[in-house]
């Protein structure tokens, strides 16, 4: 039987495995653990890496929190009053080199004392410069994981990511998307063990996927104009996370640890008023690709 304790324990091991793999790929950076307790129940460990050789700032968070479900959450999710338990791993990595992409992953489990439960998660990529080969590799990798469980997963969750990671006030996607899913529960022949196995596969593909991009792009040369563009794209990342991201809102609304919730923010970002890159520039080309429903595998 899959219990919330067993799920949380697996997530804890996933955090450790990912941190070890990323440290080896970075070469010098180390994730510093910061264990915390939530006053309302539970806690977690945030592991943060600063100023590594490849990763400028990265966080790999594990949490397992529980307690009375806040009224705001009950209303937002249309749930009956009951105690909740939520556990998961959340990751955001910001690299030094603007040709290495930002990446985000989250795998999570939510349960209530009245029997309601679901899994959620996903992985999405935010390149500062969209690269055709990188986009194809990323989406082909995610499709392979999804297809092992259900051929409908990739197109469904890819579309979900396009719609979710969309900056409405900019009318652009945050990056090239990936997969996103939420509130998955046993149905249509799928058991709880099947869904958990899928979530595990998504978690396990993260480290080899990102270390591929680290090794491939970390030594590419860049100039100051590329760094300035990187800072502007980080600004878009901040806008999404603070204005639109439901995970950020959930964490704050359940009295989560602020430092861990805002770990996703980059160390440095900029905003320029009405910045428009030259029409023939690589920056403008990247902007032209920040749209929904692009077939990245055949891009």
- What is the set of active-site residues? 104
With beta carbons less than 8 A apart as the criterion, state whether 130 and 285 touch: yes
- How far apart, in whole angstroms, are the C-alpha atoms of residue 206 and residue 221? 25
Give helix 192-217 / helix 132-147 axis angle, nearest 10°: 160
Structure tokens at 79: 């749930």
Question: Residue 28 is encoded by which pair of tokens?
Answer: 């010098």
CA distance 216 to 298: 21
Cα–Cα distance between 275 and 183 in angstroms, integer? 38
Helices (H) and strands (E) in the chain, counts: 9, 9
Structure tokens at 127: 């390149």
Spatial distance between the Cα atoms of 12 and 41, rounded to a whole number of angstroms = 17
């Amino acid at each position: 039987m899959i219990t919330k304790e067993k799920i949380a324990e697996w997530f804890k091991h996933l955090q450790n495995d990912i941190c070890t793999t990323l440290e080896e790929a970075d070469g010098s950076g180390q994730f510093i653990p910061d264990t915390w307790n939530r006053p309302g129940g539970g806690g977690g460990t945030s592991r943060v890496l600063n100023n590594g050789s490849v990763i400028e700032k990265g966080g790999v968070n594990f949490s397992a929190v529980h307690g009375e479900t806040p009224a705001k959450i009950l209303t937002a999710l249309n749930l009956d009053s009951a105690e909740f338990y939520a556990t998961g791993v959340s990751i955001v990595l910001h690299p030094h080199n603007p040709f290495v992409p930002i990446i985000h992953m989250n795998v999570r489990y939510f349960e209530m004392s009245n029997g309601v439960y679901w899994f959620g998660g996903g992985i999405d990529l935010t390149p500062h410069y969209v690269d055709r080969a990188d986009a194809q590799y990323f989406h082909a990798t995610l499709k392979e994981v999804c297809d092992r469980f259900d051929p409908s997963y990739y197109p469904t969750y890819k579309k979900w990511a396009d719609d979710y990671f969309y900056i409405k006030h900019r009318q652009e996607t945050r990056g090239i998307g990936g997969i996103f899913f939420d509130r998955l529960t046993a149905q249509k022949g799928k058991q709880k063990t099947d869904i958990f196995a899928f979530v595990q596969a998504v978690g396990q593909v993260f480290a080899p996927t990102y270390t591929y991009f680290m090794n491939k792009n970390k030594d590419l040369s860049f100039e100051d104009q590329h760094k300035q563009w990187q800072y502007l794209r980080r600004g878009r990342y901040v806008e999404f996370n603070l204005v639109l991201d439901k995970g950020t809102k959930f964490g704050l609304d359940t009295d989560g640890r602020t430092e861990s919730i805002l770990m996703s923010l980059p160390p440095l970002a900029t905003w320029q008023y009405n910045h428009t890159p030259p029409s023939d520039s690589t920056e403008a080309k990247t902007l032209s690709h920040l749209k929904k429903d692009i077939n990245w595998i055949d891009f």
